[in-house]
Amino acid sequence: MKKLFILIAITAALASCSKEQKTEPITISPEELHGSIDKVTEIMIHDIFSPPVASRIYAYPNIAAYEIVAQNNDEYQSLVGQVHGLTAIPKPDLSKPFNYEMAALVAHMELSKRLIFSEETMEIYRDSLYADWESKNPEMFKDSRDFGLKVADHIGEWMNKDNYPQTRTMPKFTVDADNAARWQPTPPAYMDGLEPHWDKIRTFVIDSAQQFKPAPPAEFSLEEGSDFYKELKEVYDVGNEITEKGDESEGIQIAKFWDCNPYVSVTRGHLMFATKKITPGGHWIGITKIASRKSKSDFDRTVYAYTKTSMAIADGFISCWAEKYRSNLIRPETLINQHWDDNWKPVLQTPPFPEYTSGHSVVSGAAAIALTSIFGDNFAFDDDTETAFGLPVRSYKSFNDASAEAAISRMYGGIHYRMAIEVGLTQGRKLGKFVVDNLKMETDRSVAANNKKNTL
């Protein structure tokens, strides 16, 4: 009889331990969010998304995660009423075990999966997290997951009304071959103009694609001494100067570090293939991760940083692409090959869309202003974003310092005139300031606390 009682006691104890193990609390770390975004970047490189489309892929999942965070953290305010067309997400049933951060990450992964092609790669990462969470607390996992999926559906409905689906069926860009000033496809692939209707995508924060319309480029003229001639001559001279110095020259190193062209075509004999790289928006999302880690940001603040920066980047692409196809300016490579030197090649491969303004300049300017508003000015960091592509780490004194180098890299690369770089950087910084001034994402208490932290 005593043995039976002992057996019952042991069985009850084991059952109790098992139950405790299945209801242990779950903490979602910023690294799990970084992992999700890194996985999205990896997939976008594999699937070869264009820079404008990639910016859209980053923005919506971040917003979904942020809106869930803002429901639970009084340091952050909802984007409803601040971002065009966004309506309030549902609220969870708090009578059940629930984890806001888990739900936020679920929503992020689910929307990301819907926006890319290689879904199975994202599912592998997601399922690894799901298995861990479910093993620790199955009830909390189920309720948090279900709410995250519900929010993903809500944001997904809003996302699908941004005019992106309609632009997929709009006509290709028509090249004006009779106008010497207008863009023409460039070697080696001579691709069609990329995303000519991107200005029709709904903006996030800025009023419209036309709000930050820059001054027009210099009047086209190949007459020696004209402003345009000087712009073209500078690209030609700078390219020749740095290539003479070789691959170790600072100009070439800067150009390659900020290349970020997912459409690089390589020709070997009769074979042509593409090398896959990160987009410029992806590079700045990588910098956001670096800053979040260095500042030891918690999960919620990391979501906030990604969300604010990705919206500035996305609006930057819409604004820039509106000007690209409005001015429709020819690339330096085309003119140099036609009129001066048919063997001249830029350090970087010219991307397939019109020249003015520089996308890197606009997007970098906008992202730097957004990041500065979060982490402070003079936030020094080591940028290892491009080490995966065999490039060394570069160091910067601030986000604006990095954006200035990203912009001038296009001159060193031989793919932009100085006017496209300088005007584009101003365009991006003005846009970024508008985003920062008009997005009230932090409460006053949060702003005061983080301003104090940024000055330490």
In this prediction the pTM is 0.92
Task: Report the pLDDT value the prediction gives residue 448, as an integer from 0 to 100.
Answer: 54
DSSP 258: T
| Residue 271, helix vs strand vs coil | strand
Instruction: Please report the pLDDT score of residue 444 as a whole number.
Output: 66
CB atoms near residue 244 (< 10 Å) = 8
Q: DSSP for 325-365?
A: HHH-BPPHHHHHHHHT-TT---SSPPPSS--SS-HHHHHHH
Q: Look at residue 247 in the predicted model and tell me its pLDDT.
A: 84
Helix (H/G/I), strand (E/B), else coil: 249? coil
CATH classification number, 178-455, choose in 1.10.606.20, 3.40.640.10, 3.30.2130.10, 3.40.250.10: 1.10.606.20
Query: Is residue 278 a contact partner of residue 390, using CB atoms and an 8 Å limit?
Result: no
Q: Which pLDDT does position 32 carry in this prediction?
A: 98
- How confident is the model at residue 97, as a pLDDT? 87
Domain regions of the chain by residue span: 27-165, 178-455
* DSSP bridge partners of 49: none
Residue 88's region, left for phi above 0, alpha for psi from -120 to 50, else beta, is beta
Tell the burial category of 172 from Cβ atoms under 10 Å away from its Cβ (0-12, 13-18, 19+): exposed
What is the full per-residue pLDDT of the chain (456 aa) written as tens digits?
433 333 333 344 444 444 444 567 799 999 999 999 999 999 999 999 999 999 999 999 999 999 999 999 999 999 999 999 999 999 999 998 899 999 999 999 999 999 999 999 999 999 999 999 999 999 999 999 999 999 999 999 999 999 999 999 999 999 999 999 999 999 999 999 999 999 999 999 999 999 999 999 999 999 999 999 999 999 999 999 999 998 889 999 999 999 998 878 665 555 555 567 899 999 999 999 999 999 999 999 999 999 999 999 999 999 999 999 999 999 999 999 999 999 999 999 999 999 999 999 999 999 999 999 999 999 999 999 999 989 999 999 999 999 999 999 999 999 999 999 999 999 999 999 999 999 999 986 565 566 556 555
- Cα–Cα distance, 157 to 151 (Å, whole number): 10
Whole-number pLDDT of residue 7: 38
Q: Report the C-alpha gap between 161 and 159 in whole angstroms.
A: 5
The pLDDT assigned to 263 comes to 73
At residue 169, the pLDDT reads 97
Rg (CA), the chain: 25
Which phi and psi (to 5°) does residue 268 adopt? -130, 105
Measured in degrees and rounded to the nearest 5, phi and psi for residue 22 equal: -85, -5
- Count of beta carbons in the 10 Å neighbourhood of residue 456: 5
Report whether the peptide linkage leading into residue 169 is cis, meaning its omega lies within 30 degrees of zero.
Answer: no
Instruction: Identify the pLDDT of residue 230.
Output: 98
Per DSSP bridges, beta strands 381-383 and 394-396 are antiparallel
Q: How far apart are CA 389 and CA 127, in angstroms?
A: 28
Question: Token pair for residue 163?
Answer: 């005019």
In degrees and rounded to multiples of 5, residue 273 shows phi and psi of -145, 165
Show the beta-strand stretches assigned E in 89-214: none
